Amino acid sequence: MIRLEKSLSAFGTPDFAAVLKHELSQLTIDQLPLQQGLSVGSYVIDAPVTVVNVSAADMVETLRVKAGIFYRGVIAGCSCADDPTPVGETNEYCEIRLDIDKSTAFTRVALLE
C-alpha cells in the first residue's frame, strides 16, 4: 500500500497539486492501476507519468483526490521473425481516485471509468 504523507501535509496549501503530482510521479507502474486503464496499448511502459487535473475533497476521515494520468503503453506484436507489426508506443490516459487516510496517509487507489 502506498502512503502519500507529503500530499496529505500539503493539503489546503497552494502547493498541494504540485506536491501530489511529484509524489505520484515517484510511484512505480505497479502501484497505480495503469495496466487496467489501457485503451489502445497492451502493456504499460515503465516510463515517467504526467499527472494532471487534480481535484480534492475533504471527507470526514479521508482526503478524496481525483487525478488524470498520462502515460505510455506499447502495442506488442507476436515477436515472430516474420511479424510485420512493429512494436509501437502509444499515449494513454486514465483517471484515478485516491482515498488518503487522514490519520495514517495510507492511500487506496481506484481506476475511474
Q: How far is residue 34's CA from residue 37's CA, in Å, rounded to a whole number?
A: 5
Spell out where the chain has E strands: 2-3, 43-44, 50-58, 62-75, 88-101, 106-112
CA 9 vs CA 3, 5, 71, 94, 98: distances in Å? 12, 6, 26, 25, 15
Please report which confidence band the pLDDT of residue 32 belongs to, taking 50, 70 and 90 as the band edges.
Answer: very high
Domain ranges of the chain: 2-40+49-69+93-112
Write out pLDDT tens, residues 69-105: 999 999 876 556 666 666 678 999 999 999 999 999 9
Q: What is the pLDDT of residue 95?
A: 97
User: Is pLDDT above 80 for 31?
Assistant: yes
Q: What is the pTM of this model?
A: 0.86
Write out pLDDT tens, residues 42-56: 899 988 999 998 899
